Amino acid sequence: MKRLWMGVRKRLRGAGELLAKIWAHRQGKVGLIMVTLLVLVAIFAPYIAPYNPYDVSQRTTKGLPPSWQHPLGTTINTGQDIFSMLVYGTRVSLIVGVTSGVCIAIVGSILGVAAGYLGGAVDTLIMRIVDIMLVIPTLPLVIVLTNVLGRDFWIIILIFVALGWTGLARTIRSLVLVLKNTNYVKAAELAGASRWHIMIRHILPGTSHLVIMSTALSSAGIMVAEAGLSFLGLGDPTAISWGKMLAEAQSGGALLFGAWWWIFAPGLGIFLAVFGFMRVGLVLEEIANPRMKRTSSVYKLFRSLDSSYVEEVFRSMDDYQRIGVEGVSSGGGQSRGTGLEA
Amino acid sequence: MGEGRAVEQVLKLRNLKVVFPTDYGLIRAVEGVDLDIYHRECVALVGESGCGKSVTSQAVMRLLDSPPALIRMDVLEFDGRDLTQCTEAEMQEIRGKELAMIFQDAMTSLNPVMTVGNQIDEMYRRHYGDSKQAAREKTVHALELIGIPEPKERANSFPHQLSGGMRQRVLLAMAFACMPKLIIADEPTTALDVTIQAQVLKTLRGMQRGCGTSLLLVTHDLSVVAKMADRVYVMYAGKIVEKAPVKELFTNPHHPYTVGLMAAVPRLTDEKKKFTQIPGTVPSPVHKPSGCYFHPRCEYATERCRREMPRLEPMGRDRQVRCFHPLGVGGKSSD
Amino acid sequence: MTEIMTLRNVSVHFPVRGFLPFLKKGEIQAVSDVSLGVRRGEIFGLVGESGCGKTTLANTMVGLVKPTAGQVLFEGVDLHSLPREEFKKTRRRMQMIFQDPFSSLNPRFNVYQLVSEPMVIRGEDDEETMKARVVELLEMVGLSAQDLYRYPSDFSGGQRQRIGIARAISLNPTFLVCDEPVSALDVSIHAQILNLLLELQERLNLTYVFISHNLADVKKMCDRLAVMYLGKLMEAGDADKIFARPLHPYTQALIAAVLDIYFSEEREIVVLPGDTPSPINPPPGCRFWQRCPKAMRGCKTVPPAFLEVEEDHFVACHLVNGFPNQDLPEGFDQPMVGREKVPGR
């Protein structure tokens, strides 16, 4: 039990270190700020949104352009406050995006590790499924599935996960094939490790950077995909989502009436969310790539060096009388240690 | 090869100092190194991993990036030309054509998606403006010189299709292609099998003497030095501790570290089951000992060695030693 | 004199698949028909260059690779005939030290986790015992308790190799395969690590198989040895006898290629021409014929037998043993002219 707790603490510390590393990157800072803001907006939506977004009773306020009362205007057909809709829409996008991203990471990495490490029939089976799923066109499949299974919020997430795990599984499998042949795995096998031990303690941690990065990037992708689905009318009809806002904007004639704010708002939302997540994902990728690891911290060190200290260090390296063809002695150099003997 | 004659000097390096800032502190990689390389000679820079020899060779080529490194040098003259004043563009002209480098791992030095022939062709086309055909002719000739069988066909192979020894020889061909004045070889045979190492070294020595190129050989392996070098610089913890012509170094070494290094080389004539090791370990480049850097590991160390850093003193014809109690010079014997 | 490890006609061949999955294009004959015995308490050298199969042979000895033919007997028992649990338990008595100190330690584990992992896998000890044992092991290899929670990246190559050694001896093995343990280290560090191995052998009663291509190290370390080329044994037996009178041309070439630091004016470098060929579809006859300076015409097609020339000194060479009494080609004992030896690839 104690070992489990120590393991958890280590993971948390590792997570903390990772966040610090992302923060150190200029782009990472931007990404983290945006993601945090979005999360806060999603959580505190009821306090941030000035109006109830579902309120369709205000018929007098239809089609208003942005103003102080309605920062992003109102919808043409129902008079809903667009800013509030945007705020509430954050919830759907984030939940769908992040949940799907995390689930894809879990499913993809487990299947990828299994395929790569266990090989044989397991590998063949999983890879054939991956191949089949790649061949089937996604959109028609989604349409069929939503018709069959319904358009419930969680069903949508399930569909995203079911279609999205394949890419990660493939990538992880390639990495596992490499990790499998490292000497430290061989050493563990020699000590009698079970395959389970090797997969959990050596292989899976070796893929962690890939998994984390993929989670960030696929969350971004899924948010866009969700918006697309809602736009096509395949999403959850009861939830407010940015995609749905776009759909309503189109059908409500926003373009016709020049109500640019109605289109701008959800577009902005999607852009900000995707941008934030992608920044974090790309920075994670850089961090994971060992060759790029040191550059930014080294530059910082470099600039913060005290130049007089550096000069002193250099001076301390001189022999206090240099022998050379020229017979030059460098005056003023200090020799290391004390006591200059005669 | 003495200092008295007016032999053309290919490289003159004075007082090179390199420092790397890190989270743990300042790494004092190179502390005031002088090097002289003359025409047609092979100079060896010998030392264990971490002594600063690779950093020195990169600094000479001006390939050391200045962040993260902090570099100082008084003089860097190549073939009479002051390299510290050259722009990067001018350096790129010089590198490859007059100053070439051979690295340890051929696989990472060669472009895996270009045939070896094309890579060598590029040298000729870039530095001499040769046409494709002219360059290819020269390439095939170079490969033949290096001792690669069926050079015309081999030129169309990719690096991964060649064995380790062949790849290393392709690197040699590329380095010698433009008949440079100086070639810097950093551990050129360390990763190779014994018989292949012999082949590559023999080729390298033959090419070097035949083309009249000077060679700076950077290595940790004294047995390679014994076969290849004319003069030797021994380096320890960023400083040169001994400089001597090769015969004198091996028959009468002066610095205790040199003696220790030589004793540590396993020889076929040695006693069984007894390996002579230098006690202790190489100092961390961040925390170096006081006084003479070698004193914690030296059996002849005195109080003075603990307090003071000895300077490089001349000791005979073309020799220098950095030691208060050098061996093999009247008094103490080295074995 | 009991043998702790016996190999009987061991072959390890890997198929090379052609374009269609069931079509076999050829075979990588990594190890072919190798028989040898390692005596308890000795250091047995395995010498050869890249492609000769020594690593595959080492992996086969410790059960990481299953031979396609032949038997591997550990302490008299056929390793691969054991049921799974017995196999795992037996395997704990044989361990391995790897060549590359940088890839043999998981960079995400600290020293304590690395050295204790075999014990964790075995699952018989509690935290306290393991920690004490790890400290004991670290001190045995020249490190200290202060290094317990540091990571491999903090250590030099030689120190990492020591960590690997500590891990290997943690379960009290009797048999240790050292796969080029010092080849990736500076020559000056070889002595430290090899001295450590010698010390541990005495202290813990170990038997070593020492794989290396540095013949000077091999000569000083080993009691007996075997020379391999392209998967086959060229010469084997008592080390002193082999070095005193190397009979096989390849052994002679390996010894001649050793660069000595004794300074001689001519500074001769002896070269064996040609490249290490690939073990895919090797030729019939002697596998060394293409590079052999003394090859005869018959060497190309007639495989040499591995015969005992003097006590505990075996060689597989027609020059030494003479050609067998069988259907021999024309001019079989005439020396080969250069043109006949152009190596194909």
CATH code, domain with C30: 3.40.50.300
User: Is the pLDDT at B332 greater than 50, yes or no?
Assistant: no
**Is A331 within a domain?**
no
Contact status of B129 with chain C (Cβ, < 8 Å): no
Contact status of B286 with chain C (Cβ, < 8 Å): no
Contact C257 B223 (CB under 8 A): no
Contact status of B289 with chain A (Cβ, < 8 Å): no
**Is A335 within a domain?**
no
**Is C157 within a domain?**
no
Chain B residue closest in CA terms to C192: B277
Residues from chain A contacting residue C94 (CB–CB below 8 Å): 190
Burial A128-149 (b: 16+ CB within 10 A, else e): eebeebeeeeeeeebeebbeee
CA distances from A247 to A89, A151, A258, A263, C32 (A): 13, 16, 16, 9, 71
Chain C residue closest in CA terms to A178: C103
Q: How many domains is chain C partitioned into structurally? A: 1
Q: According to the model, what pLDDT value does residue B331 have? A: 41
Residues from chain C contacting residue B282 (CB–CB below 8 Å): 156
Contact C220 B49 (CB under 8 A): no
Contact status of A334 with chain C (Cβ, < 8 Å): no
Q: According to the model, what pLDDT value does residue A322 have? A: 44
Contact B311 A322 (CB under 8 A): yes
C44 contacts: CB under 8 Å, gap ≥ 6: C36, C38, C207, C208, C209, C210, C222, C223, C224, C225, C226
What is the bridge-based pairing of β-strands C43-47 and C207-212?
parallel
- Å between C91 CA and nearest CA of chain A: 7
pLDDT band at A332 (very low <50, low <70, confident <90, very high): very low
**Is A323 within a domain?**
no
User: Is the pLDDT at A336 greater than 60, yes or no?
Assistant: no
- Mean pLDDT value across residues B138-150: 84
Q: Beta partners for B46?
A: B219, B234
Contact C121 A206 (CB under 8 A): no
**Is A52 within a domain?**
yes
Nearest to C301 by CA among C326, C283, C278, C277: C283
Q: According to the model, what pLDDT value does residue C337 have? A: 67
Cα A251 to Cα A262: distance, rounded to the nearest angstrom: 11
Q: How many domains is chain A partitioned into structurally? A: 1
Residues from chain C contacting residue A201 (CB–CB below 8 Å): 117
Cα C249 to Cα C256: distance, rounded to the nearest angstrom: 10
Cα A255 to Cα B135: distance, rounded to the nearest angstrom: 64
Contact partners for chain A, using 3 or more CB pairs closer than 8 A, are: B, C
> Looking at the domain that runs over B9-229, which CATH code has it been given?
3.40.50.300
Q: According to the model, what pLDDT value does residue B335 have? A: 40
Q: According to the model, what pLDDT value does residue C19 have? A: 61
Contact A337 B23 (CB under 8 A): no
Q: Mind listing the pLDDT tens digit of every residue in chain C (345 residues)?
A: 588 999 999 999 988 776 666 666 678 888 999 999 999 999 999 999 887 888 899 999 998 889 999 999 998 889 888 888 888 888 889 999 998 888 899 888 889 999 999 998 888 888 888 999 999 999 999 998 888 888 888 888 889 999 999 999 999 999 999 999 998 888 888 999 999 999 999 999 999 999 998 899 999 999 999 999 999 999 999 999 999 999 999 999 999 888 888 877 777 788 887 777 777 777 788 888 888 888 888 888 888 989 999 999 999 998 888 887 777 777 777 777 665 555 443
Contact A182 C96 (CB under 8 A): no
pLDDT band at A342 (very low <50, low <70, confident <90, very high): very low
Residue, of A145 and C174, whose pLDDT is higher:
C174
Contact status of B316 with chain A (Cβ, < 8 Å): no
Residues from chain B contacting residue A294 (CB–CB below 8 Å): 68
**Is C315 within a domain?**
yes
**Is A92 within a domain?**
yes
Contact status of B22 with chain A (Cβ, < 8 Å): yes
Contact A188 C121 (CB under 8 A): yes
Residues from chain A contacting residue C167 (CB–CB below 8 Å): 187
Q: According to the model, what pLDDT value does residue B123 have? A: 84
What mean pLDDT value characterizes chain B? 87
Task: Provide, for chain C, the percentages of residues in helix, strand and coil under a 3-state DSSP scheme, each rounded to the nearest 5.
Answer: 35, 25, 45
Edge-to-edge strand order for the sheet containing B313-314?
Answer: B99-102, B182-186, B214-219, B42-46, B231-236, B239-245, B320-321, B313-314
Q: According to the model, what pLDDT value does residue A324 have? A: 40
Tens digit of pLDDT for each residue in B13-51?
999 999 988 777 788 999 999 999 999 999 999 999 889
pLDDT band at A24 (very low <50, low <70, confident <90, very high): confident
Contact status of A67 with chain B (Cβ, < 8 Å): no
Burial B71-95 (b: 16+ CB within 10 A, else e): bbbbebebbeeebeebeeeeeeebb
CA distances from C223 to C27, C50, C192, C244 (A): 34, 23, 20, 13
pLDDT band at B157 (very low <50, low <70, confident <90, very high): confident
Contact partners for chain B, using 3 or more CB pairs closer than 8 A, are: A, C
**Least confident among A207-216, B1-10, C20-29:** B1-10
User: Is the pLDDT at A273 greater than 80, yes or no?
Assistant: yes
**In terms of residue numbers, what domain contains C65?**
3-93+175-184+206-277+307-328
Give the CATH number of the domain where residue A55 resides: 1.10.3720.10
- Å between B201 CA and nearest CA of chain C: 8
Residues in chain A: 342
pLDDT band at B191 (very low <50, low <70, confident <90, very high): confident
**Least confident among A202-216, A306-320, C207-221:** A306-320
What mean pLDDT value characterizes chain A? 77
Q: Beta partners for B110?
A: none
- Which sequence spans correspond to the domains of chain B? 9-229
Residue B108 CB-density burial (10 A; 0-12 exposed, 13-18 middle, 19+ buried)? exposed
Contact B312 A319 (CB under 8 A): yes
Q: According to the model, what pLDDT value does residue C345 have? A: 33
ipTM passes above 0.90: no
Contact status of B247 with chain A (Cβ, < 8 Å): no
**Is C121 within a domain?**
no
Of A182, A183, A193, the CB nearest to C121: A193
Q: According to the model, what pLDDT value does residue A1 have? A: 59
In degrees rounded to 5, what are phi and psi of residue B76?
A: -140, 100
Q: Are B68 and B19 in contact (CB under 8 A)?
A: no
Chain C residue closest in CA terms to A205: C108
Give, in degrees to the nearest 5, the angle at Cα C86 between C82 and C90.
100
Q: Token pair for residue C283?
A: 């030729």
Nearest to B256 by CA among B217, B298, B292: B298
Report whether the peptide linkage leading into residue B68 is cis, meaning its omega lies within 30 degrees of zero: yes
Contact status of A290 with chain C (Cβ, < 8 Å): no
Contact status of B262 with chain C (Cβ, < 8 Å): yes
Q: Are B170 and B83 in contact (CB under 8 A)?
A: no
* C 268-287: CB under 8 A from B: 269-273, 275-276
- Å between C211 CA and nearest CA of chain B: 13
Tens digit of pLDDT for each residue in A74-114?
777 777 777 888 888 888 888 888 889 999 999 999 999 99
Chain A residue closest in CA terms to C165: A187
B278 contacts: CB under 8 Å, gap ≥ 6: B257, B260, B261, B263, B264, B297, C188, C191
SS3 C28: strand
Q: According to the model, what pLDDT value does residue A239 have? A: 78
Of B26, B307, B320, the CB nearest to A339: B307
Tens digit of pLDDT for each residue in B298-325?
999 999 999 989 989 998 888 999 999 9
For chain B, list the strands marked E by DSSP: 9-22, 25-38, 42-46, 70-72, 75-78, 81-82, 99-102, 182-186, 214-219, 231-236, 239-245, 313-314, 320-321
User: Is the pLDDT at A331 greater than 50, yes or no?
Assistant: no
